[in-house]
């Protein structure tokens, strides 16, 4: 392709090898969240309301109503995504058939369909405990609940969850990211912030007591949620401390910090103190709104930070957004392709040259090159990458999504 040849030469003139960048991109697996496909409903009670300060808005037609529909939609979405990736599921996506199984009694077999499907599709799977949208989380507390019985229920949920995730890993012969996020917190100013934090620590210790082979456990902090505006028990400081002390991964969700804080600036501050980081790439619009990821400055800075330091084996790039106001397959496609584009842009940076200028205090050259990079033809490299991966180049996927919408999605209502 001519455009690519020109781009290749232009990048070479800046000291960048486009072939190497594409090779590096090919090795990156994104952990794509299954929950964009059904507005985080899951299959326990698909019409149940979301709780825990997370919310979907919009009623675009065609949401997946069954596991088979969700998997079919994921398969469709993956035809638009270059590379080999993973699917992240939640405990609430268990398939219990006609049995009503509560979350503390989930079993491996309830995830067998996901496993068989992942095997068949050549996908990795990741797992999330589900501690929201349940009667026993209605007080706004789960693992830090003052009531021992309620705590026990959620501890058991996480213990069986770790066994399930371990089984998934064994079946797929592949590590499983096992993420834990809880909604616990106070709407109004509490008097006792310490008791729930001590209880949370105690619950976590019980959950993680047993070693597993395939799990990579990770804990996810948050600054506030709807209903936990004044105090979140699992705050960033809390989980930083817990993860460092117990050598767990830490999940950094880009929507979980104060609006002027950025995750891109946190990675190098944390990475040497934990075994790794799980990212939840999202887009907060004024709050943790989980908008579809766009190719904005922070996404590019975040990706550049990973690429610059070659952190690919210590950082798992997961997605966490859910928008019900547009076609859900398009939402997935746009967000995932943007994440990959941002990574490619990061990989197309002459980092060593830039670092060299920076270390010599030549900030003039650093700024000039960084600005020049913004108008470099990265899109021609991206198009070439998509073409070689045999996935749609440019916008050609959109027509196909619309066709799928007409033929499949619109018949679901």
List 145, 201, 280, 291, catalytic entry = 280
Closest CB to Zn ion among residues 31, 333: 31
Tell me: does residue 320 bind Zn ion (CB under 5 A): yes
| 222 labelled catalytic | yes
Among 404, 319, 374, 273, residue whose Cα is nearest residue 89: 319
Tell me: does residue 40 bind ligand RNT (CB under 6 A): yes
| Number of chain residues interacting with ligand RNT (CB under 6 A) | 11
List 73, 184, 320, 380, catalytic entry = 320
Closest CB to ligand RNT among residues 44, 288: 288
Distance of CA 370 to the CA centre of its chain: 28
Closest CB to Zn ion among residues 253, 323: 253
Of 250-269, which residues contact ligand RNT (CB under 6 A)? 253
Tell me: does residue 349 bind ligand RNT (CB under 6 A): no
Smallest gap from Cβ 248 to ligand RNT, in A, equals 15
| 145 labelled catalytic | no
Tell me: does residue 216 bind ligand RNT (CB under 6 A): no
Number of neighbouring beta carbons within 10 Å of residue 12: 12
Among 180, 158, 162, residue whose Cα is nearest residue 233: 180
Could you tell which of Zn ion, ligand RNT, none binds residue 288, using a CB distance below 5 to 8 A set by kind? ligand RNT
Closest CB to ligand RNT among residues 39, 405: 39
Smallest gap from Cβ 53 to ligand RNT, in A, equals 6
Of 234-263, which residues contact Zn ion (CB under 5 A)? 253
* 255, 284 Cβ separation under 8 angstroms: yes
Find the binder of Zn ion among 280, 283, 328, 341 (CB under 5 A).
280
| 181 labelled catalytic | yes
Number of neighbouring beta carbons within 10 Å of residue 258: 9
Query: For residues 109-145, b (16+ Cβ closer than 10 Å) or e, as one string?
Result: ebbeebbebbeeeebbbbbbbbbbbbebbeebbbbbb
Tell me: does residue 128 bind ligand RNT (CB under 6 A): yes
Q: Give the C-alpha separation, 103 to 142, whole Å.
A: 13
Tell me: does residue 126 bind ligand RNT (CB under 6 A): no
Could you tell which of Zn ion, ligand RNT, none binds residue 222, using a CB distance below 5 to 8 A set by kind? ligand RNT
Smallest gap from Cβ 219 to ligand RNT, in A, equals 11
Q: Give the SS3 label for residue 373.
A: helix
Dihedral angle sign, alpha carbons of residues 254, 255, 261, 266: negative
List 256, 266, 291, 341, catalytic entry = 256
| 139 labelled catalytic | no
Q: Tell me how long the chain is.
A: 413
Of 53-82, which residues contact ligand RNT (CB under 6 A)? 54
Smallest gap from Cβ 33 to ligand RNT, in A, equals 7
List 126, 166, 288, 298, catalytic entry = 288
- Kindly state the tokens that stand for 296: 């904005």
* 162, 203 Cβ separation under 8 angstroms: no
DSSP string, 202-258: HHHHHHTSS--SSEEEEEE--S--TT-SSEESS-HHHHHHHHHHHT-EEEEETTSS-
Q: Rule CB under 5 A: which residues touch Zn ion?
A: 253, 280, 320
Q: Rule CB under 6 A: which residues touch ligand RNT?
A: 35, 40, 54, 128, 181, 220, 222, 253, 280, 288, 320
């Amino acid at each position: 392709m001519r455009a690519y040849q020109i781009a290749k030469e232009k990048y070479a003139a800046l000291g960048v090898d486009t072939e190497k960048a594409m090779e590096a991109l090919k090795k990156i697996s994104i952990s794509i969240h299954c929950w964009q496909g059904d507005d985080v409903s899951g299959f326990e009670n698909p019409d149940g309301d979301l709780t825990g300060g997370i919310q979907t808005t919009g009623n675009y037609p065609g949401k997946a109503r069954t596991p088979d529909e969700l998997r079919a939609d994921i398969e469709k979405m993956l035809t638009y995504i270059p590379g080999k990736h993973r699917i992240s599921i939640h405990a609430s996506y268990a398939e219990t058939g006609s049995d009503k199984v509560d979350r503390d009694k989930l079993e491996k077999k309830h995830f067998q369909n996901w496993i068989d499907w992942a095997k068949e599709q050549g996908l990795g799977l990741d797992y999330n405990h589900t501690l929201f949208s349940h009667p026993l989380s209605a007080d706004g507390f789960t693992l830090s609940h003052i009531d021992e019985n309620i705590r026990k229920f959620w501890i058991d949920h996480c213990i069986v969850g770790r066994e399930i995730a371990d089984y998934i890993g064994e079946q797929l012969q592949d590590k499983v990211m096992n993420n834990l996020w809880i909604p616990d917190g106070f709407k109004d100013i509490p008097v006792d912030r310490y008791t729930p934090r001590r209880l949370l620590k105690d619950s976590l210790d019980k959950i993680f007591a047993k070693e597993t082979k395939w799990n990579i456990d990770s804990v996810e902090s948050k600054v506030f949620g709807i209903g936990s505006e004044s105090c979140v028990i699992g705050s960033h400081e809390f989980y930083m401390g817990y993860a460092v002390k117990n050598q767990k991964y830490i999940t950094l969700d880009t929507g979980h910090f104060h609006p002027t804080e950025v995750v891109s600036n946190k990675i190098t501050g944390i990475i040497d103190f934990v075994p790794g980081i799980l990212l939840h790439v999202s887009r907060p619009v004024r709050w943790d709104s989980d908008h579809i990821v766009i190719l904005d400055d922070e996404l590019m800075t975040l990706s550049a930070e990973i690429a610059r330091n070659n952190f690919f084996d210590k950082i798992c790039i997961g997605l966490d957004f859910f928008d019900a106001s547009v076609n859900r397959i398009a939402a997935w496609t746009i967000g995932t392709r943007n994440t990959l584009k941002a990574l490619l842009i990061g990989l197309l940076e002459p980092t060593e040259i830039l670092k060299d200028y920076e270390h010599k205090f030549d900030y003039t050259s650093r700024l000039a090159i960084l600005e020049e990079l913004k108008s470099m033809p990265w899109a021609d490299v991206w198009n070439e990458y998509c073409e070689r991966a045999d996935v749609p180049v440019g916008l050609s996927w959109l027509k196909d999504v619309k066709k799928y919408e007409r033929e499949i999605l619109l018949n679901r209502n």
